[in-house]
């Protein structure tokens, strides 16, 4: 049977960053609550000319520069912070990246789980035709009400993945465990720019979905817990993944220490919650920071509020280190520009009605920008950096 999986992946984030120590001080909260209690250091914040489209295109660009577009016939865009009720954000990305006209492009939504649904679908497309490659893009802006308990768990970022036969990074194994239950733990009504969340319920819903998905994984013939060498979980805040590993250890009776997932945290501590991209930012961090992964099995858990979960596994391919992008990812994260709290709050509340023409100020130094609204439609453009498309 052909092995199929993630051939390459790349991460992108925003121009701005807010330091959680500043947010804590301003709120009269001990900064250790955020750094240790939640396991978060900073959060990415988009400029007025950045959004899920610009981040998604930015994440996908290095994949195309490295691998070209041959065989790419499908672009699956996963997000829960969509920019249109009808049109897929993937179509804007398709144009910005100059992808072939002969493609299917669609958007996936089920909270933070959407990217895993897209990945599983991509595996199916490639299984049917191993010559095809699928571009999966996950991109989100996590926004809660100012002053709410969720505020320090905001963030923004995108991860793009190229799914192909005989992958260079991670072969996804066929067995999956899934879970679904209608629960009001977290959602975003159509007329709200911020999520509504029952924080306590969201924690138990996440842990419940994990154990249900694990039991289903086992019933479906998945490997035993002792055959999994590393764990990578959805990270709404990195402490949540620690709670999840503890929960899985209690549920299975296995001894599972945090060393098995420590390398997954580096990027998400900096980005904050990236919703659909969070699990895959964790995977990027693991592949970039752990030198002893060749041939090892990673257990991945994807959670999407509302609520669904999926537990699945992947085998790391020998030579994965050659595809790493640690230096450029770290440079991007370190290069973010600090945003003071007044400016952050102003950006947080900024809304631009779709029935009024509006030109976005030029702020981002990324490869693509949201130019604004004209004739009720969103307009995007490549910046001089994007036009130059330097090799990566």
> Does residue 199 interact with ligand CAA by CB under 6 A?
yes
Q: Kindly state whether residue 149 participates in binding ligand CAA, applying the rule CB under 6 A.
A: yes
Q: Which is nearer to ligand CAA, 25 or 30 (CB)?
A: 30
273 forms part of the interface with ligand CAA (CB under 6 A): yes
- Residue 206 marked in a binding site: no
**Spatial separation of the C-alpha atoms in residues 198 and 184, rounded to whole Å:** 8
**Minimum distance from residue 186 beta carbon to ligand CAA (Å):** 5
Q: State the Cα torsion 307-123-134-73 to the nearest 10°.
A: -110
34 is in an annotated binding site: no
Query: Is the Cβ–Cβ distance between 165 and 75 less than 8 Å?
Result: no
Residue among 214 and 275 whose Cβ is closer to ligand CAA: 275
- How far apart CA 320 and CA 318 sit, in angstroms, is 6
| Known catalytic residue at 112 | yes
DSSP state of 288: H
**Closest residue by beta carbon to ligand CAA:** 37
- Is position 186 an interface residue for ligand CAA (rule: CB under 6 A)? yes
Tell me if 144 is assigned to a ligand binding site.
yes
- If one asks whether residue 311 binds ligand CAA (CB under 6 A), the answer comes out as no
Is residue 234 involved in binding ligand CAA (CB under 6 A)?
yes
Instruction: Determine which one of 50, 80, 171, 310 is catalytic.
Output: 80
Strand-pairing partners, residue 186, are: 197
Nearer to ligand CAA, 88 or 202 (CB): 202
DSSP string, 308-367: EEEEEEEEEPTTGGGG--HHHHHHHHHTPEE--HHHHHHHHH----TTS-EE------SS
Instruction: Round to whole Å and give the CA distance between 346 and 333.
Output: 22
Among 108, 125, 303, 370, indicate the residue that binds ligand CAA (CB under 6 A): 303
Query: Is 232 an annotated catalytic residue?
Result: no
Q: Which stretch binds ligand CAA (CB under 6 A): 33-41, 66-74, 100-108, 376-384?
A: 33-41
Choose one: 27-35, 216-224, 318-326, 354-362; the region binding ligand CAA (CB under 6 A): 27-35
Nearest to 22 by CA among 345, 332, 282: 345
Span from 13-21, 128-136, 158-166, 200-208 in contact with ligand CAA (CB under 6 A): 200-208
Q: How far is CA 353 from CA 50, 88, 156, 322, 391, in A?
A: 16, 19, 22, 46, 37
Question: Beta strand pairing status for 104-108 and 133-142?
Answer: unpaired
Q: Which residue has the tokens 């964790």?
A: 282
Stretch that binds ligand CAA, among 36-44, 129-137, 259-267, 338-346 (CB under 6 A): 36-44
User: 190 a known binding residue?
Assistant: no
Catalytic residue among 15, 234, 270, 310: 234
Residue among 302, 303, 257 at smallest CA distance from 283: 302
Q: Are 66 and 35 in contact (CB under 8 A)?
A: no
Binding-site ranges for ligand CAA (CB under 6 A): 30, 32-33, 36-38, 112, 149-150, 153, 186, 197, 199, 202-203, 206, 234, 236-237, 239-240, 273, 275, 303, 305
Q: Which residues are annotated as a binding site for (3S)-3-hydroxy-3-methylglutaryl-CoA?
A: 30, 144, 243, 273
Name the residues annotated as catalytic: 80, 112, 234
């Amino acid at each position: 049977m052909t092995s199929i999986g993630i051939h390459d992946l790349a991460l992108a984030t925003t121009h701005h960053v807010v330091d959680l120590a500043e947010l804590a001080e301003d709120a009269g909260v001990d900064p250790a609550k955020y750094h240790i209690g939640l396991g978060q250091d900073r959060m990415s914040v988009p400029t007025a000319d950045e959004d899920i489209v610009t981040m998604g295109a930015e994440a996908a660009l290095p994949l195309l520069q490295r691998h070209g577009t041959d065989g790419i016939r499908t672009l699956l865009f996963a997000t829960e912070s969509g920019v249109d009720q009808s049109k897929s954000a993937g179509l804007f990305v398709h144009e910005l990246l100059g992808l072939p006209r002969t493609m299917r492009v669609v958007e996936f939504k089920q909270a933070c789980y959407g990217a895993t649904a897209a990945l599983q679908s991509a595996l199916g497309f490639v299984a049917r035709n191993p010559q095809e490659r699928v571009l999966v893009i996950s991109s989100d802006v996590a926004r809660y009400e100012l002053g709410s308990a969720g505020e320090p768990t905001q963030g923004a970022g995108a991860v793009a993945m190229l799914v192909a036969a005989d992958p260079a990074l991670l072969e996804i194994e066929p067995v999956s465990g899934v879970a679904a239950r209608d629960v009001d733990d977290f959602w975003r009504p159509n007329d709200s720019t911020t999520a509504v969340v029952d924080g306590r319920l969201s924690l138990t819903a996440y842990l419940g979905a994990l154990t249900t998905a694990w039991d289903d994984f086992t019933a479906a013939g998945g490997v035993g817990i002792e055959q999994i060498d590393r764990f990578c979980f959805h990270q709404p805040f990195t402490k949540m993944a620690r709670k999840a590993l503890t929960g899985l250890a209690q549920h299975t009776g296995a001894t599972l220490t945090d060393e098995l997932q420590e390398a997954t945290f580096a990027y998400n501590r900096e980005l904050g919650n990236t919703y659909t991209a969070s699990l895959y930012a964790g995977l990027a961090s693991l592949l970039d920071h752990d030198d002893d992964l060749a041939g090892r099995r990673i257990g991945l858990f994807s959670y999407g509020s509302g609520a669904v979960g999926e537990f699945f596994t992947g085998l790391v391919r020998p030579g994965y280190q050659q595809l790493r992008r640690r230096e450029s990812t770290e440079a991007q994260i370190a290069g973010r520009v600090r945003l003071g709290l007044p400016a952050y709050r102003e950006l947080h509340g900024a809304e631009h009605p779709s029935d009024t023409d509006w030109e976005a100020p030029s702020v981002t130094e990324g490869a693509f920008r949201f130019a604004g609204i004209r004739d009720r439609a969103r307009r995007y453009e490549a910046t001089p950096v994007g036009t130059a498309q330097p090799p990566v």
